[in-house]
Amino acid sequence: MGLKTILSKVFQSEDDLQPQNWPERLVWWSIICTFPIWIIGGLYVVGSVLCWLLLVCLLIKILARMDHPEENEEISISPVIWLWIIGMIIMQVALIAGHVNFNLGTGAIIKSTIGWAKGWAALALYPLAGALPIRSSIPTRAICIVGFHTLLIMPVLLITPNLHLPEVLYVSPLRAVGGPGNEFFDVPLYEIDGSTGDLRWRLFAPWGPALGFVGNVNFTICLLEKDRKWKILGIIGSILMAFVCKSRLAQLAIILIPSATFIIGRLRQPFMLISLGVVSYLGGIFATSILTAISDYWEGFKGARAGSTRVRFALKRIAFHRWETEAPIWGHGVVEGGPHLVEYMAIGSHHTWAGVLFVKGIVGFVALAVPMLATALDLFRRAASPRYQLGSAGLGMIIILFMYTFGENLEILVYLYWPGMLIMGMALQEKPMPRATIVS
C-alpha cells in the first residue's frame, strides 16, 4: 500500500466536511495550514489580521441583511460579547490616557494602538465572529487535523538535538512587519531550558508554556469532534503539545479543566449529585490529609523550576507595587523592562492581571475582569443545561483563560489560541435546542 493510499484513508471522513462560505474558508485554511504558515514565520501576521477580516465579513453580512432582510438571516449579538467589545474599547481609552499622563508622545500612541489592534481588540473580535454563519464543526475538525500534523512532525523534532542541529533554524523575514520579538517569527527545532538544562519543544509557539496553552485550548475543542478517528488524533496531538513543552501549568490544566467541565455538564443528573455528596462527605473526614497533600504539591510545583518561579513572583511584586504607587487609575501606558533581579524581563509579563494593572491601571483591570466574569456565569449556565451543545467547550475555554492569566499575558498570545475564542463566541451565541428534541 502506497503512502498516497494510506494518507487518503487517514483523511477520509464519513461526512466529508468542507467549508461552505468565505468565513468558513478563512477559518478552515488558517487553522489547517498552521504548520506551513509557521515554516514561513507567518502565524503572528495571520492571527493578528484574521480577526479583522472576519469583522469585515460580519459587516458585509449586516449590510446585506439591511438591504434584503427577506433573503438574509437575522444577526443577533450576545450581550456578553458586547461586554467584551466595550471592555476592549476601554482598554484603548486607558492606553491613550496612560500615554498622555506620562507624556509619551503621539508616535508611541500610534505604535501602542497598533499593538492593541493585534492583541486586546482580537480578544473581542474573535468571539464576535461567532455570530457569523460558521459551523462549529469547521474549527473543530481543523484543530483535529493540526493535532494529526503534530503527531507527524514531532518524531522528527524529537531527534534534532541528537543530530546537533541548531535550536532555531532561522528568523522569518516577516519579522520586518513588526511584533513583540524574534521568537514570534522564528522556526525552532527544540530549546534548552535555561533554569534546568532540560530539553523542551515549543513548535510554532514563541515559548514552551505558550504551546501548553494552545494544547489545552485544542484539547477542549477536539472533545467536540463527532468523527471518532479525528477526535482521537486531535486529542493525542493536543496532549502531546501539553507535555513536550514541559509546562507545569499545561499538564495540570489538561487534567483539571476537562474534569471540571464534565462535572458541571452533569450537575442535573442524580448520579452526579449523589457522587458529589459522597466526595464532599469524605473530603470533610480527610480534610487535613488533603490540605497537606495540596500544600506539598504546590511546593513541589514551585520548586520544579525554582528559578522561573522566583522571576515570575518578582515580576508580579514589582508590577503591583509600581501600579499602586505610581499610576493606580490609568496605568503607565507602556511596558517597561525590569531590573537585573528579573533578568531584565518586562514588568508585568507572565501575569495578565499584573500586566494590565501596570500598563492600564484599575480601569484596564475592570475592563477585562467584567467580561470574563460575565462569560463564565453565562457559560456555566449553558454547560449545565443539555439544551446547549457548545456550553461545556465554551466553559472550558473561559476556565483556561482564567488559569493562564496567572502564567501568561492573554493579549500577546491570542494570535495562537484564537480558535478557542471563536468557539467561545459560538457558545455564547448558540440557540437552545427544543426540549422535545432532547427528550427524544
CA–CA distances in Å: residue 219 to residues 171, 202, 395: 29, 17, 13
- Residue 215 scores a pLDDT above 70: yes
77 has pLDDT over 60:
yes
Sign of the torsion angle spanned by Cα atoms 106, 112, 115, 117:
negative
pLDDT at 175: 87
Asked if residue 396 has pLDDT above 80, the reply is yes
Record the pTM.
Answer: 0.88
Higher-confidence residue of 340 and 48: namely 48
Range with lowest mean pLDDT among 259-268, 280-289, 327-336, 351-360: 280-289
Average pLDDT for the chain? 84
How far apart CA 379 and CA 388 sit, in angstroms, is 10
Which has more confidence, 413 or 339? Answer: 413
Condensed to tens digits (0 to 9), the pLDDT of residues 265-297 reads: 766 667 666 766 766 666 677 667 666 766 665
CA distance 223 to 221: 5
Q: Give the 3-state DSSP-derived string for 3-42, with helices as H, strands as E and coil as C.
A: HHHHHHHHHCCCCCCCCCCHHHHHHHHHHHCHHHHHHCCC
Amino acid at 42: G
As a whole number, mean pLDDT of residues 10-24 equals 75
Q: What pLDDT sits at residue 191? A: 87
Which is higher by pLDDT, 6 or 235?
235
Residue in 389, 399, 371 with CA at minimum distance from that of residue 426: 389
- What's the whole-number mean pLDDT along residues 254-270? 76
pLDDT at 32: 95
Question: What is the sign, positive or negative, of the torsion defined by CA atoms of 223, 224, 228, 232?
Answer: negative
Q: 55: burial class by Cβ within 10 Å (0-12, 13-18, 19+)?
A: middle
What are the domain boundaries of the chain? 18-265+311-434, 273-301
Using 50, 70 and 90 to split pLDDT, how confident is the model at 233?
very high
In this structure, what are the phi and psi dihedrals at residue 188, rounded to the nearest 5 degrees? Answer: -90, 150
Q: What is the pLDDT of residues 116-150, one digit of tens each?
A: 999 899 999 999 999 999 999 999 999 999 999 99
Q: Can you tell me the distance from the alpha carbon of 436 to that of 330, in angstroms, rounded to the nearest whole number?
A: 51
The answer to whether 361 and 334 have CB atoms below 8 angstroms apart is no
Give the separation between CA 238 and CA 147, rounded to whole angstroms.
Answer: 6
Cell output for 157: 523534532
User: Which residue's entry shows cell 508585568?
Assistant: 348
Q: Are 83 and 370 spatial neighbours (Cβ–Cβ below 8 Å)?
A: yes
